[in-house]
Chain A
Amino acid sequence: MRRIPWWRLGAMLALLAGLGLGLVYSWIISPARVTDSEPLALRTDFKDHYRSAIAAAYAATGNLPRAEARLSLLADADPIEALNAQAQRMLASGQSFEQADQVAALASALGEGITVEFTSTPVTETTNSIVSTSTLLPDPSEIPPEITETAQPVETQATISASTPRPTQTAVPTLGAPFALTGQETVCDRNLPDGLLQVIVFDSRRRQLAGAKIIITWDGGEEEFFTGLKPELGNGYADFIMDPNTAYTVQLGAGSDIASGLTTSTCQTSDGETFFGGTKLTFQQP
């Protein structure tokens, strides 16, 4: 059998050793500097910033397809859930209610496929004579975008009709329409406090509504409380502990159906233990 010369064997080992050294250096000691990353690689808190910016832009323009395109860059498994969770985190950490609401509103719009209606007020300029319309949905990887542009001579001034219309947001009715009692159910959950009355309020777009005043009355008493004080349970959530020997009546301060005769119910666990159950009411604006 012919032996391999030692120096050839040494050369092969040197090549492998060099390869290993090169990989250690390029992967661990001095990896390539990142300069062209994508939003999906951002740290979690920066992803939250990114979502907030998307939501703020959506609140300003009402352009849902554009917001969806931007959200897709973050590659969330469930963008709606990610937005809702972020809105809750923002409220729980004391961030601006308006910003959290924008994030929640975008989640709601995505869930319903709603595009907020806007009316645009054309911008008038004296120096430009182009009427430009664009179908840009800014997927940055596809820049430059498709633009349809038509030159139009104008005598003394011109009108620019933008692809992203300057919005005058159509007001969504929040007052006037009474809330309907859409759900009333007995809750027997040993993990909840005895006699817990839960109230959840939705607006007309099925978004949980924070700050809704709830009036609860009983024989000889009345109390008011508001939704949204426990954001970890939902913007439209509020609760109250009922006394076992009292019947309560609940309605919303803004006007709603009346839920009356609310009492605790007797529940039983699988091992025979009894406890006071609660009630869950759901109100929604038609």
Chain B
Amino acid sequence: MKSSRWIFISLALLAGIGLGLAYGWVMDPVDFFDLTPDTLRADYKSDYVLMVAEAYHVERDPDLAARQLAIFGTQTPSTIASSGLAYARANGFSDSDIALMQELVTAMQAWSRIQ
């Protein structure tokens, strides 16, 4: 038996694995449900931060705002708010929305210092 034939079979196996991985990771990846908020796309995260900022502007409750931001996981509320603000600035959010988010960032930074 020629070794070149075994090489051909091995290459076919590797090609199959490669095609399978490409299909499973890129072309038709697994649909996930029951996800956590840290997996949200950046624009959705930023809009969530904006929601919290809108509510904070009226309620003035930093504890509540921090709890609402904490759903994103291990990052601090001020970091989460800052990330949202950075995205908003880079993606053309209105001045008023950016002002609200800036206010929230400032509040979360102050809140973090007193915790």
Inter-subunit contact B23/A15 (CB<8 Å): no
Interface string of A133-156 (1 = CB under 8 A from B): 010101011011101000000000
* Chain B residues numbered 37-83 whose CB sits less than 8 Å from any CB in chain A: 37, 39-44, 46-48, 50-52, 54-55, 57-59, 68, 71
* Chain B residues numbered 1-59 whose CB sits less than 8 Å from any CB in chain A: 5-6, 8-26, 29-30, 32-37, 39-44, 46-48, 50-52, 54-55, 57-59
Interface string of A52-66 (1 = CB under 8 A from B): 111011011100000
Query: What's the least CB distance linking A163 to chain B, in Å?
Result: 5
B29 contacts which chain A residues (CB < 8 A)? Answer: 26, 31-32
- The answer to the question of A254 belonging to the interface, with a C-beta cut-off of 8 Å to chain B, is no
Of A31, A49, A138, A167, most buried by chain B (CB within 10 Å of CB) is: A138
Inter-subunit contact A32/B8 (CB<8 Å): no
Inter-subunit contact A36/B94 (CB<8 Å): no
A23 contacts which chain B residues (CB < 8 A)? Answer: 20, 23-24
| Complex CA distance for A166 and B103, rounded to whole angstroms | 13
- The answer to the question of A241 belonging to the interface, with a C-beta cut-off of 8 Å to chain B, is no
CB nearest to A132 among chain B residues: B95
Inter-subunit contact A34/B12 (CB<8 Å): no
Selected contact of B91 from candidates A43, A73, A143, CB within 8 Å: A143
Query: What's the least CB distance linking B103 to chain A, in Å?
Result: 11
- The answer to the question of B110 belonging to the interface, with a C-beta cut-off of 8 Å to chain A, is no
| Complex CA distance for A49 and B52, rounded to whole angstroms | 11
Query: What's the least CB distance linking A8 to chain B, in Å?
Result: 8
CB nearest to A21 among chain B residues: B17
Inter-subunit contact A12/B97 (CB<8 Å): no
CB nearest to A63 among chain B residues: B54
B: residues with CB less than 8 A from A are 5-6, 8-26, 29-30, 32-37, 39-44, 46-48, 50-52, 54-55, 57-59, 68, 71, 91-97, 99-100
A: residues with CB less than 8 A from B are 7, 10-12, 14-27, 31-32, 34-39, 41-44, 46, 49-50, 52-54, 56-57, 59-61, 70, 73, 123, 130, 132, 134, 136, 138, 140-141, 143-145, 147, 160, 162-164, 166-167
Can you spell out 26 A-B residue pairs with CB atoms less than 8 angstroms apart? A7-B9, A15-B15, A18-B17, A20-B16, A20-B20, A21-B20, A22-B22, A26-B21, A26-B29, A31-B24, A31-B32, A32-B30, A35-B41, A36-B39, A37-B39, A39-B40, A43-B35, A43-B36, A49-B37, A56-B55, A57-B54, A60-B54, A70-B47, A138-B97, A145-B93, A166-B57
